[in-house]
Amino acid sequence: MRRWKRVWERGGADALRRRPATGRPPKVDGPQVERVRAALEQGAQAHGFEADLWTLERVGAVVERVTGVTLSKASVWRLLTGRLGRSLQRPERRAAERDESEIARWITHEWPRIKKGP
């Protein structure tokens, strides 16, 4: 006999309902997660970092400072992507001196001349 059928015969439909997963409770609880969220929204420079860019190491340091809990990089990643709803963002690699009008001029005038050849 199938396991689910035995469970149903003993306890009915309520016995078949999904139960919450068991396991170790998270190291960072709900109120601590909200304190971490507020700290991250202040920006990295507000926490003494040179650039306003978050890395796993930096987030881990802020989590430790705010909550007193030390997390591994994998746990910081799960905290960010799962409980805080963040995703990986990469900064655009673009020169600060980029001149869009000069690029447009080059594409319309210089590139056709170069492509045509001598």
- Please report whether residue 39 resides in a domain: yes
Number of structural domains found in the chain:
1
Domain limits for position 50: 30-88
pTM of the model: 0.62
- Report yes or no on 112 lying in a domain: no
How confident is the model over 72-104, as pLDDT tens digits? 999 999 999 999 999 988 877 878 788 889 999
* Residue 83 covered by a domain: yes
Closest C-alpha to 46, from 66, 68, 29, 31: 66
Task: Look at residue 107 and tell me if it is in a domain.
Answer: no
pLDDT tens digits along 23-63: 888 899 999 999 999 999 999 999 999 988 899 999 999 99
The answer as to whether 99 is a domain residue is: no
Alpha helices, H only, 17-90: 30-41, 56-67, 73-78
Q: Is residue 105 part of a domain?
A: no
The reply to whether 67 falls in a domain is yes
Residue 15 lies in a domain: no
SS3 3: helix
